Chain A
């Protein structure tokens, strides 16, 4: 289905939503900006996509802990090995409750503690809900890292070793590379992809369809298979929640509880290897 989207966006005119037919009889809609993948202006970067409120839903019942989201994210953002934008935890609230996989991107909070404390406005909240970082303004004080309750932020501790494609694209806060030493970075909700009407890499790369992404203003979220559901009904029917609501940060990422799991929980027979095991294997 993604090929269909690509084909249509290539053919699309200025600012027009295009519908295209795919092999299985489904439809693909894509809104295409004038100029395609041209760099957004700094005003556009700070504003966000007009009229949009990006939102993510993570279905904990569907997640099997394969770590594909982390991998595709790392590949598409050229992320160095010491950090992950979407990190997978194997959680267990207490010994008597079930363990479950917990993918954690940046929550793009509507009341973001990180953005509150930034002394120079290098990290900012956009009207479309995304929290981004301007690595060309960041002074590297790391206050935002200390302030984020979810440890979603990483730092460029060393001078970067960007691969050629990263350098070639040129810097924009919407994709955050080529990297700048001594500055903070994090999951950007694939702001550039959303601008082109494409799902974030982690969502489109999730074979378990555990990750959903959409526009809250459209009241819909879509998964990697193209299944699109009404957000409000989805959250209501599946008892959606936001992680640590009591902190008052108002995340833009919702979770669906790990009830009636579709695959083995961490530690169960047939489950994917745990994160500690995975990290040991990497070494």
Chain B
């Protein structure tokens, strides 16, 4: 195929829309408008308009979030992994895959905002962000992934830009559009210098975007995995979600390929071989996903922990959740595997059917990960007469439909603005095919060096991760310190205390005088009360001892006075003082009735008391400031990734200046 033909065919997708196209866009806009109305209703009436309640507090929106973030992995697989491994057949597909990534990320991130009770307080994430929270990890890694994907999508489009500018000029498009393309082209021309800079930028992006993509779906899984809930608190959740994401992303790209092939008549570019090659990858991923699912459910079932078992009973049961589970297992996994398994039966139809089933199935699977676990509580809600149910409300369904429509709309508009197949790469592909000569194996030395940069970065990331792991576990073990009463503290309470102003001058024979002191008898600490009337000790009187606590009086015991007027109870060994470090004792005469007095209060200072509860809250997982290990890890990882992005931008700047010189 000649490159001029390719150019003509692929740029034809930019022609003004026909009636069918306008209807399609109009329909999508209508669905989006409906979703906007639904969201307005939700903003006015609160999340009450959803079916989420206190037990099932996450539902369809979170499902959509995980689903779209999963779809976004299409770009990573096709364009990054296949580019790094130099699979030539990827070329017509890369643009589409990278566009899916960017658009799905935008939609996915907006689902979280729609799920928020207070979207107006979004900025609190920046003002008060806590790096112990997986949501902050999500925020950081999704932002990084979105920026990276955007950059990646753009870099791979640069060589098409001069072509697009020319095309727009020749077809009498608005000069503003021409200028737009020219600006984006950064003055790119077919010259060795330009090619080299482009190869460097693309090589670096292709490598760095892979760990970033993996991190994104890992931390998405950790939103669930880091809790203690049955079905979520699982160590395989990271890889399970990453595989699930690439799985659904690949299915999404096959579906998109099929739709664009039909809509834009790209049969000679998106050929059956492309579908078949992707089908093999999809089959491998579906088997891998089935393996992960089996591993997860089998261990849970075999172990048979009570809460886990209740979850599995719900999943495999006869209710609506059970129905959804079996529908997913059969139509989302086994049927697609069957459709893809035998090469002889693999047709375009079966591949696309399998992909669509997988896409729907993976949405259902995400729903089955989120909702049933929230229905399965440690303290069964049923024991409080509550049935935690959930079924998406109309508002939720409308917003979800809007999210899908917005995804398709953005995709459509993107394909009207830029060729949906990468023209320069398709031309390259055709040239490669035309060249009968055996291609030199492997990339050029220059390319090799370029790939070494991000490869070293990735290696560094892994080493850093391993290094950081140890202190992290140590940090997470920190707990609130020093709570209970210090066992000692030089417990010589002054012990001597006078009763409140005894009045000997008043000749009231029936008024008893009580003195309380702390003494040591035979090595045992005692609290001794001496009862006197007019200076004479009283024998046989019953005396009650108590000590004041914040909310009440704690009885210490009763005793009868001896001949010397003393009564004693054991000193409450180790009893901490009150907030001031004092022990407010009181003594009450219970009998004889003639002597009954009001309680006599005595304060003994210097009691054992951990006066200072932890003055500074440590950097624990729950405290306001994050453990340094977490902050350090995140900062280091971000630095590595953003440094690579910076490297790419430097190449682009160099490209721009190159033009000025040439």
Residues of chain A having any CB pair with chain B under 8 Å? 17, 19, 21, 25-29, 31, 50-53, 82-83, 87-92, 102, 104, 110-113, 115-122, 124-125, 127-128, 137-143, 145-147, 149-151, 153-159, 180-184, 197-199, 213-223, 226-230, 243-244, 247, 249-250, 274-280
Chain A's nearest CB lies how many Å from the CB of B619? 12
Q: Is the CB of B227 within 8 A of A115?
A: no
Compute how far the CA of A180 lies from the CA of B315 in the bound complex, rounded to whole angstroms.
35
For the complex formed, measure the closest distance between the CB of B656 and the CB atoms of chain A, giving whole angstroms.
Answer: 39
A residues less than 8 Å from B130 (CB atoms): 118-121
Enumerate chain A residues within 8 angstroms of B226, measured Cβ to Cβ: 116-117, 147
**Majority SS at the chain B contact face:** loop
A residues in contact with B575, CB < 8 Å: 219, 230
Given contacts A51-B613, A140-B118, A156-B117, contact A27 B586 (CB under 8 A): yes
Tell me which residues from 571 to 618 in chain B have a Cβ below 8 Å from any Cβ of chain A: 572, 574-580, 584, 586, 588, 598-599, 601, 609-615, 617
Is the CB–CB distance between A53 and B483 below 8 Å?
A: yes
Q: Judging by beta carbons under 8 Å apart, are B227 and A275 in contact?
A: no
Shortest distance from the beta carbon of B483 to any chain A beta carbon, whole Å: 6
Q: Which B residues are in CB contact (< 8 Å) with A145?
A: 54, 57
Bound together, the chains give a CA A240 to CA B132 distance in angstroms of: 32
- Least CB distance from A153 to B in Å reads 7
Q: By the criterion CB–CB under 8 Å, are A214 and B54 in contact?
A: no
Set B133, B385, B554: member contacting A116, Cβ < 8 A: B133
Contact B379 A29 (CB under 8 A): no
When the two chains form their complex, are residues B384 and A275 in contact, meaning their CB atoms are under 8 A apart? yes
A-B pairs, top 6 by smallest CB distance, nearest first, are: A140-B117, A182-B117, A276-B385, A228-B552, A222-B551, A222-B552
Which A residues are in CB contact (< 8 Å) with B117? Answer: 138-142, 155-156, 181-184
Q: Which of A120, A159, A219, A250 contacts B485 (CB 8 A)?
A: A219
Known interface pairs A119-B133, A149-B228, A159-B46; 19 further A-B residue pairs with C-beta atoms within 8 A, sorted by A's residue number: A17-B580, A53-B613, A82-B53, A91-B383, A111-B621, A111-B622, A119-B139, A120-B128, A139-B124, A146-B227, A147-B226, A147-B227, A151-B54, A199-B551, A217-B483, A222-B551, A228-B549, A247-B378, A277-B385
Give the CA-CA distance A226 to B384 in the complex, in Å: 30
Contact B133 A118 (CB under 8 A): yes
Pair A150/B379 contact, Cβ less than 8 Å: yes
Q: Is B643 an interface residue (CB 8 A)?
A: no
Q: Are A89 and B383 in contact (CB under 8 A)?
A: yes
The reply to whether A278 and B385 form a contact with Cβ atoms under 8 Å apart is yes
Q: Within B379-410, which residues are at the interface with A (CB < 8 Å)?
A: 379-386
Query: In the complex, A120→B121 CA distance in Å?
Result: 10
Chain A residues contacting B382 (CB-CB under 8 Å) are: 276
- Kindly state the separation between the CA atoms of A277 and B226 in the bound complex, as whole angstroms: 36
**Given A116-B622, A138-B118, A182-B116, also A29-B133 (CB < 8 A):** no
- Name the contact of B227 in the complex, choosing from A113, A243, A250 (C-beta under 8 A): A113
A158/B548 in contact, CB under 8 A: no
Cα A247 to Cα B379 in complex, Å, equals 13
Q: Cβ of B228: which chain A residues have Cβ within 8 Å of it?
A: 113, 147, 149, 247, 249
Q: Which residues of B contact A277 (CB under 8 A)?
A: 385
A213 to B549, CA, bound (A): 11
Contact assessment for B54 and A139 in the assembled complex, using a CB-CB cutoff below 8 Å: no
Neighbour of B572 across the interface among A120, A223, A230, CB < 8 A: A230
Q: Which of A120, A216, A228 contacts B483 (CB 8 A)?
A: A216
When chains A and B are docked, how far (Å) is the Cα of A155 from the Cα of B621?
24
CB 8 Å contact bits of B537-570 with A (1 = contact, 0 = none): 0000000001011111111000000000000000
Number of A-B contacts (CB under 8 A): 273
In the bound complex, do residue A120 and residue B54 qualify as a contact, i.e. CB atoms below 8 Å apart? Answer: no
Which chain B positions have C-beta within 8 A of A116? 132-133, 226, 621-622
Return the chain A residue nearest B549 by Cβ.
A220
Q: Given A29-B548, A120-B124, A274-B385, do A125 and B622 touch, yes or no (CB 8 Å)?
A: yes
Question: B383 — nearest CB in chain A belongs to which residue?
Answer: A89
Inter-subunit contact B584/A115 (CB<8 Å):
no
22 residue pairs bridging A and B, Cβ less than 8 Å apart? A21-B599, A28-B552, A29-B550, A91-B383, A110-B483, A111-B479, A116-B226, A117-B134, A118-B130, A120-B124, A120-B125, A137-B121, A139-B121, A146-B224, A147-B226, A149-B229, A157-B47, A215-B579, A220-B552, A228-B555, A229-B554, A277-B385
Report yes or no: A50 in contact with B623, Cβ–Cβ below 8 A: no
**B353: Cβ under 8 A from any A Cβ:** no
Name the CB-closest residue of A to B614.
Answer: A127
Chain A residue nearest to B132 (CB atoms) is A116
Q: Say yes or no: B578 contacts A83, CB within 8 Å.
A: no
Q: How far is the CA of A215 from the CA of B622 in the complex (A)?
A: 22
B515 within 8 A of A: no
Whether B135 pairs with A228 at a CB distance below 8 angstroms is no
- Asked if B623 contacts A214 (CB within 8 A), the reply is no
**Residue on B with the closest CB to A126?**
B617
Instruction: Tell me, in angstroms, the Cα distance from A227 to B549 when the chains sit together.
Output: 10
A221 vs B386: C-alpha distance in the bound complex, in angstroms? 32
Residues of A with C-beta under 8 A to B127: 120
* B121 contact set on A, CB distance < 8 A: 120, 137-140
- Pair B223/A89 contact, Cβ less than 8 Å: no
Tell me the chain B residues, 221-272 only, with Cβ under 8 Å from chain A.
Answer: 223-224, 226-229
Residues of A near B446 (CB, < 8 A) are: none
- Whether a CB of chain A sits under 8 angstroms from the CB of B1 is no
A155 to B375, CA, bound (A): 16
Residues of A within 8 A of B383 (CB): 89-92, 102, 275
Contact of B576 with A218 in the complex, beta carbons under 8 Å: yes
**Closest Cβ of chain B: how far from A3's Cβ, in Å?**
15
Contact A143 B133 (CB under 8 A): yes
Minimum CB–CB distance from B462 to chain A (whole Å) comes to 26
Is B502 engaged at the interface, CB distance under 8 Å to the other chain? no
Given that A214-B549, A222-B551 are contacting pairs, would A119 and B54 also be in contact in the complex, using a CB cutoff of 8 Å? no
Q: Pick from B112, B119, B128, B580 the residue with the most CB of A within 10 Å.
A: B128
Chain A residues with CB under 8 Å of B617's CB are 125, 127
Of all chain B residues, which has the CB nearest A275? B385
- Taking a contact as CB atoms under 8 Å apart, the answer to whether B116 and A279 are in contact is no
Min Cβ gap B142→A in Å is 13
B624 within 8 A of A: yes
* B55 touches A (CB below 8 Å): yes
Is B45 an interface position by the 8 A CB rule? yes
Nearest residue, chain B, Cβ from A282: B385
* CB <8 Å contact, A279 and B57: no
CB distance from B305 to the nearest CB of A (A): 11
Q: Which of B374, B385, B598, B620 has the most CB of A within 10 A?
A: B385
Is the CB–CB distance between A139 and B227 below 8 Å? no
Q: Are B613 and A31 in contact (CB under 8 A)?
A: no
A19 to B599, CA, bound (A): 10
Residue B489, interface by CB 8 Å: no
Q: Which of B47, B553, B555, B613 contacts A217 (CB 8 A)?
A: B613
Q: Name the residue of chain A whose CB is nearest to the CB of B44.
A: A159
Could you say which of A52, A89, A118 contacts B379, with CB atoms under 8 Å apart?
Answer: A89
* Given known contacts A139-B125, A149-B229, A219-B576, A228 and B622 CB-to-CB distance under 8 angstroms: no
The reply to whether A17 and B584 contact each other, CB–CB distance below 8 Å, is: yes
Cβ of B381: which chain A residues have Cβ within 8 Å of it?
151
Q: Provide the residues of chain A in CB contact with B116, threshold 8 Å.
A: 139-141, 182
Q: Does B480 contact A (CB under 8 A)?
A: yes
A244: which B residues are within 8 A, CB to CB? 378
CB distance from A228 to the nearest CB of B (A): 4
- In angstroms, how far is the closest chain B Cβ from the Cβ of A182? 3
A222→B548 CA distance, assembly (Å): 11
CB distance from A278 to the nearest CB of B (A): 7
Q: Does B475 contact A (CB under 8 A)?
A: no
Contact of A158 with B601 in the complex, beta carbons under 8 Å:
no
In the complex, whether B455 has a CB less than 8 A from a CB of chain A is: no
